[in-house]
Structure 1
Amino acid sequence: MIMKQLIAIIAICTLLSDGFTQEPTIWRGPSRDGHYPETGLLKQWPAGGPEIIWSLTDLGQGHSSAIVDQGFVYTTGMISDMGYLFKLDQKGKLVYKIEYGPEFTESFYGTRGTPTIVGDKIYLLSGLGKLYCFDNETGDILWTKDLFKDFDGSIIQWGMNETPVVDGKVLYITPGGKKNNLVALNRHTGDLIWSSPGNGELTAYCTPLLFEHNGRKLLATHSESHLMGFDATTGKMLWKQHQPNEWSVHPNTPIYDEGGLFYLSGYGQGGGMLELSPDGNSAKLKWKHKNMDSRMGAAVLVDGYIYGSGDSRVWSCLDWKTGEEKYTSQEIGHGVVIYADGMLYCYSQRGELALVTPDPTGFKVVSKTKVALGTEQHWAHPVIYDGILYVRHGRALIAYKVK
């Protein structure tokens, strides 16, 4: 029996190593923490805002962020009721536009999840729970999985919204089923590697965080009323932290640093810090703070301080170690935050785009402009690549020169 278990673990570890491992290009930067490794960016924008070097206004409706890999820009959009994958060059010229299937047409209609790029393959989850693997060069669909039919998942109120997580040969996704709550698939074939029942709750719009804690690979993600920790190799659920809110909406990927795991969600719940045990098998609440209760704007950790916003319409800064609130500000509306080259890039739900100095003594806006192109909600997370800031707003994608 022990020998069989060892063989199974060795087989899974072999899957995790993908030969010449290709680093995935993922939502919210290389570490999924909102940090982009850019240098030489502008520390102040021109009076009228950064130069728009190109824009597209016919992508179809969507909340999907752009993602940039090897000089190509990818995003999705819904035209009529069908979803399309777009691949553009860095000048905004269309490389291809691939129809992949029906999309979410109910409340806040349009595409949701952002593609993940790994070498010659693209991975995407539709708002209707269909997981796709595309050939990067041609856009051809290589395989699909239906999270509802194949893994007993269930549609959630505002549609499935998750970006696939890839590590080596393994792809992680959250069907939210009673039996198949979180699954690991072979990313080349879609075949099941392991399945975890988790806490048996519905998924909650959250893209999991894959991280290494004292040499052990772990996953952290939200279900409808819990934050959960998993062993990434076996799928075993290690711990859970109760985190309910009125609408079971938890899109913000947690942030990990030196044994601490910060999580946050909206509707008055706010954020908290978990301290993981050395082996990762348990977690205890270290502190909690309700002001930073972002529904979907995430937060960033910079030099020991957490920066983000909340439903209370304020931006705030928390001390990573203690949770002490350093300031609050209503200078711009609440929204999304990313970080690059020593500056915060804040994109509010009112369409304000601000360049802000990360400083625990106050919310210091250096430059500000308005995103005028596009439609519907200002929800997509901006991306910075090669000195260009990409902002998705509904049917539009705008490329700003910030270097």
Structure 2
Amino acid sequence: MIQKAFLFFACLILSTSVFAQTPTKWRGENNSGIYNETGLLKEWPVNGPEILWSFEGLGEGHSSPVFANGLIYLSSMIDSKGYIFVFNQDGKLQWKKEYGNEFKDSYPGARSSVVVAGDLMYMYSGYGVLYCMDANNGNAKWTKNVFEDFDGQNITWGVTETVVVTDDVVYVTPGGKKNNVVALNRFTGDLVWTSAGKGELSAYCSPLLLKLPSRTLLVTHTADHIIGLDAKNGQLLWDFPHTNRWKVHPNTPIFYNGSLFCFSGYGQGGEMLALSDDGSSVKEVWSKKELDSRMGGMVVVDGYLYGSGDNAREWRCVNWETGAETYVDKSIAKGVTIYADGMLYCYSERGELALVEATPDAFKVISQTKVELGSAQHWAHPVINNGRLFVHHGDALVVYKIK
């Protein structure tokens, strides 16, 4: 009996340790904007969901919070300096740590979200500096100036890439001619491999790491192409032309049913690309100019794409396989969408926060409120965690009860 109890607790400790080491990701598990929570409210109170807590005094920023080690991590900027704010689950500030200069030019503020993996966390500034810090106190472990070290250069509105971390590697896009995408040892910052890619500037994109049976694929946008790299060695496996007026491609590609959907704003729209089984090639299936979300992402649920556009400002539902529209709607302004438990959570650029039924039949707004706290643009992507909806709006983090 004692032996069985020991084995049980040993397994529990091991599983907890493995879970704690799992790196956080931009837009949740699989970078998909899909949050696997259940029992959430199907309708909000008349005045909107209850605010459990809020924190004001963050400064400026457009990032999303992440959750690890029982804590909440969020990047922001105060007086041109970037900070990591760390809260407990009740919203009490545990500590904050300055990491360096942050983007203070057009649309100032921290752009990228923190990535936490066990006792380490990673932050990529709008000026192209990658910081590795102790997740327990923010103390520096190592720093890389990605532009200086890898012949990269900044882009108009500052790099906006939440880096990808896995196992012992961190992937980042300098956007250089020779060192277009690089993999670094996440413990030391040493170069693991470098890829020339297409030799184009980066494009505000947070990459998608896709584990296939035969290889792991890294998919991202650069200025004029979508590229697929072998994540083991950086080999460029394929590329597909994709550009727009300003070379802004901030949406992480979506993978579903063996295909990739890659999309950006300013009227460019998106392309559905069938991916070969081994990830070595793609083939266009369909394209649609109206699916031109500039920075709001989209979600795929039960074979349907949901999201809003940029030039095409309406909210749309589109069949994943065919590209055929099932509805077009203007009930709220264009913006960000995420999904959980049968519902879309739509956050518009005007601050509208809407609970929408995820059905291809119509854009059914069930409940709606407005984000009043905070400052500047309503651009940060909301996050769902443990029955709560987190919205970062500039100076404020607002936490709603949705369960």
Q: TM-score, normalised by structure 1?
A: 0.94
Q: Which residue of structure 2 lines up, in the alignment, with residue 189 of structure 1?
A: 188
Q: Following TM superposition, by how much is the alpha carbon of 1:20 offset from its aligned partner in structure 2, in angstroms? A: 9.3
Which residue identity lines up with residue 272 of structure 1 in the other structure?
E
Query: Quick check: 1:391 aligned with 2:386?
Result: no
Q: Which residue of structure 2 lines up, in the alignment, with residue 222 of structure 1?
A: 221
Q: Deviations over 1:284-327 (max 9, x none)?
A: 11100111100000000100001011012110011111111111
Q: Which residue of structure 2 lines up, in the alignment, with residue 235 of structure 1?
A: 234
Q: Which residue of structure 1 lines up, in the alignment, with residue 49 of structure 2?
A: 50
Q: Which residue of structure 2 lines up, in the alignment, with residue 74 of structure 1?
A: 73
Q: Which runs of 5+ in 2 are unaligned?
A: 1-16
Asked if the contact 1:170/1:184 (under 8 Å) is kept, the reply is yes
Q: Which residue of structure 2 lines up, in the alignment, with residue 245 of structure 1?
A: 244
Q: Secondary structure at the match of 1:149?
A: helix
Asked if the contact 1:83/1:99 (under 8 Å) is kept, the reply is yes
- Give me the whole-angstrom Cα distance separating, in 1, the residues matched to 2:118 and 2:18: 13
Q: Following TM superposition, by how much is the alpha carbon of 1:21 offset from its aligned partner in structure 2, in angstroms? A: 9.0
Q: Which residue of structure 2 lines up, in the alignment, with residue 3 of structure 1?
A: none
Q: Secondary structure at the match of 1:31?
A: helix
Query: Quick check: 1:125 aligned with 2:124?
Result: yes
Q: Which residue of structure 1 lines up, in the alignment, with residue 376 of structure 2?
A: 376
Q: Secondary structure at the match of 2:209?
A: strand
Q: Which residue of structure 2 lines up, in the alignment, with residue 13 of structure 1?
A: none
Q: Following TM superposition, by how much is the alpha carbon of 1:164 offset from its aligned partner in structure 2, in angstroms? A: 1.1
Q: Deviations over 1:236-272 (max 9, x none)?
A: 1111111110000000000112320001100001111
Q: Secondary structure at the match of 2:147?
A: coil
Asked if the contact 2:20/2:69 (under 8 Å) is kept, the reply is no
- Give me the whole-angstrom Cα distance separating, in 2, the residues matched to 1:326 and 1:234: 42
Asked if the contact 2:97/2:137 (under 8 Å) is kept, the reply is no
Q: Which residue of structure 2 lines up, in the alignment, with residue 349 of structure 1?
A: 349
- Give me the whole-angstrom Cα distance separating, in 1, the residues matched to 2:165 and 2:141: 16
Q: Secondary structure at the match of 1:148?
A: helix
Asked if the contact 1:21/1:168 (under 8 Å) is kept, the reply is no
Q: Following TM superposition, by how much is the alpha carbon of 1:333 offset from its aligned partner in structure 2, in angstroms? A: 0.6
Q: Following TM superposition, by how much is the alpha carbon of 1:131 offset from its aligned partner in structure 2, in angstroms? A: 0.3
Judged with a 3 Å threshold, the aligned counterparts in structure 2 of structure 1 residues 348 and 152 are, in CA distance, closer, same or farther, namely: same
Q: Deviations over 1:12-39 (max 9, x none)?
A: xxxxxx9999311111011110011211
- Give me the whole-angstrom Cα distance separating, in 2, the residues matched to 1:24 and 1:99: 22
Which residue identity lines up with residue 139 of structure 1 in the other structure?
G
Which residue identity lines up with residue 287 of structure 2 in the other structure?
K
- Give me the whole-angstrom Cα distance separating, in 2, the residues matched to 1:20 and 1:364: 37
Asked if the contact 2:20/2:117 (under 8 Å) is kept, the reply is no
Q: Which residue of structure 2 lines up, in the alignment, with residue 364 of structure 1?
A: 364
Judged with a 3 Å threshold, the aligned counterparts in structure 2 of structure 1 residues 21 and 168 are, in CA distance, closer, same or farther, namely: farther
Asked if the contact 1:213/1:259 (under 8 Å) is kept, the reply is no
Between stretches 315-324 and 65-74, larger displacement belongs to 65-74
Asked if the contact 1:116/1:124 (under 8 Å) is kept, the reply is yes
How many residues in Structure 1 have an aligned counterpart in Structure 2? 386
- Superposed, 1:53-202 pairs within 5 Å as 53-202=52-201
Q: TM-score, normalised by structure 2?
A: 0.94
Q: Deviations over 1:176-223 (max 9, x none)?
A: 111111001111111110000000000000000001234321011000
Provide the alpha-carbon RMSD of the alignment: 1.3
Q: Secondary structure at the match of 1:45?
A: coil
- Give me the whole-angstrom Cα distance separating, in 2, the residues matched to 1:370 and 1:290: 29
Q: Which residue of structure 1 lines up, in the alignment, with residue 4 of structure 2?
A: none
Identity of aligned residues (%): 57
- Superposed, 1:254-403 pairs within 5 Å as 254-311=253-310, 312-403=312-403
Asked if the contact 2:50/2:400 (under 8 Å) is kept, the reply is yes
Judged with a 3 Å threshold, the aligned counterparts in structure 2 of structure 1 residues 202 and 41 are, in CA distance, closer, same or farther, namely: same
- Give me the whole-angstrom Cα distance separating, in 2, the residues matched to 1:51 and 1:329: 27
Shift >3 Å, 4+ stretches: 18-21
Q: Secondary structure at the match of 1:85?
A: strand
- Give me the whole-angstrom Cα distance separating, in 2, the residues matched to 1:284 and 1:399: 42
